[in-house]
Structure 1
Amino acid sequence: MVVESDGRLDESCRVAAPLPQEAVRVRLDKPRPDDLADLVYLADNKTVAANLATMPYPFTKDDGRALLARADLSRPESATFAIRLKTTGRLIGVARYANVDADGPVHVGYWLGEPFWGQGLATEAVHVLVDHAFTHNGIQELQGSCRVTNPASRRVLVKSGFQYRDQAMIRSLGAGGSVPIERYTLERGVWKSLKGWGQGR
């Protein structure tokens, strides 16, 4: 249930736009200092880290504080969100998008804590993340990627409208080396069509 960009999303931030962003069971809003305990508990997981590019393992309180600090930075076409269960308000993961290079594509990335895998929560979170990216920015295309050994992330991207582009290699800090990934894209026009079809049902 984890997906990551080409590895430089740690510089992303929360864009100034209406919050929270809500789906059926999850809400995306600003990460808070009181999320630190949940963040460290869920992120300190070798399986989670091995499916991401830049998450360290072990994941310490200092790593959590650094992530929370980065979430408060402001940068165009970037946003970092806590993924929360609407029923409890507790953090269950992180979702973000970032324009890594000034003229480059905007990448989406997310992860959920292992207790929340396999329930469709990641798909809800990515739908809301994509809607936020296209609604509150002039972004024309989003890119996402997943490890080739992570079929759950592949399903999340496909269910969110992303289309397969190619394969590549990235360095994964948590995996301890280079890993193969599949890369996907979602254009604004395709997103608008999918949103229109959903409203017509």
Structure 2
Amino acid sequence: MVVEYEEIPEESSCFAAGSPQDTARLVIDRARKDDVADILFLANNRRIAEKLTNMPHPFTREDAKALVKRCEVQFPNQATFAIRMMNTGRIIGAIGFNPLTEDFGAVHLGYWVGEPFWNQGYATEAVQSVIEFAFSNGVKELSASCRVSNPASHRVLTKCGFKQDGTTKLHSLGAKAVVDATRFTLTRAQWIANMRWGYAG
């Protein structure tokens, strides 16, 4: 998964809704200009790009600057955030959501975490926080998709309450090919029910 590369809307229509809640180990906030070097170091990784759809490889300094720029504006159905370690403040990835035309306006969740931080539960923490943020700010349904060959992302989405909703084919910039992907959905009503019953995946 990856935050979509979208044009930034006019700042005059910006929606200020704050930031997602911090988790036990993470701070979810805006990327800053001084994060560019860390973003570039982590994101310029073919192993990450090939697991995603909209992350280019090579990932350039201009791509890193564009990610920081996307964090500067925010709307009810579109926002991008940095994922940081709480104990150090260093960025380890990014997460966000935005409407996709091909999903008929559904709000699509995307994220990535740098390879040194894989398999430690950070993506799950970040996704849970951003789900709550999105649904608390008016989003009614989230969609997500990940490559069939990316079981780690399948587990993250399932743990966070998403349900599989078929398969599709997506063009991956990193893989430079059309790839098979699994679609997932989560409605606000489902999320509320999951919270009420203590669902933990």
Taking structure 2 as the reference length, the TM-score comes to 0.90
Distance change in 2, residues 1:15/1:145 (3 Å): farther
Contact 1:15 1:79 survives alignment (8 Å): no
Alignment of 1:16 onto 2:23: no
1:150 is aligned to 150
Q: Which amino acid aligns with 2:21?
A: Q
SS at match of 2:31: coil
2:92 is aligned to 92
1:49 is aligned to 49
Query: 1: CA distance between counterparts of 2:7 and 2:114?
Result: 20
Range 171-180 or range 14-23, more displaced: 14-23
Contact 2:16 2:75 survives alignment (8 Å): no
Query: 1: CA distance between counterparts of 2:145 and 2:156?
Result: 11
Per-residue CA deviation, residues 14-61 of structure 1 (Å, 9 max, x unaligned), is 952233521111110011101101100000000111111111111111
Q: CA RMSD in A?
A: 1.9
1:107 is aligned to 108
Contact 1:98 1:107 survives alignment (8 Å): yes
| Deviation (angstroms), 1:103 | 5.4
Greater RCO structure (CA 8 Å; 6+ sep): 1
2:11 is aligned to none
SS at match of 1:123: helix
Contact 2:19 2:133 survives alignment (8 Å): no
Structure 1's unaligned 5+ residue stretches are none
Distance change in 2, residues 1:106/1:68 (3 Å): same
Query: 1: CA distance between counterparts of 2:114 and 2:123?
Result: 10
SS at match of 1:174: coil
Query: 1: CA distance between counterparts of 2:187 and 2:157?
Result: 13
2:176 is aligned to 176
Structure 2's unaligned 5+ residue stretches are 9-13
Alignment of 1:31 onto 2:26: no
Taking structure 1 as the reference length, the TM-score comes to 0.90
Matches within 5 A, 1:68-87: 68-87=68-87
- After superposing on structure 2, the runs of 4+ consecutive aligned residues of structure 1 that deviate more than 3 Å are 12-15, 73-76
1:195 is aligned to 195
Q: Percent sequence identity over matched residues?
A: 45
Q: Which amino acid aligns with 1:11?
A: E
Query: 2: CA distance between counterparts of 1:12 and 1:71?
Result: 12
| Deviation (angstroms), 1:72 | 1.8
Contact 2:92 2:114 survives alignment (8 Å): yes
| Deviation (angstroms), 1:66 | 1.6
Contact 1:4 1:53 survives alignment (8 Å): yes
Query: 1: CA distance between counterparts of 2:108 and 2:57?
Result: 22
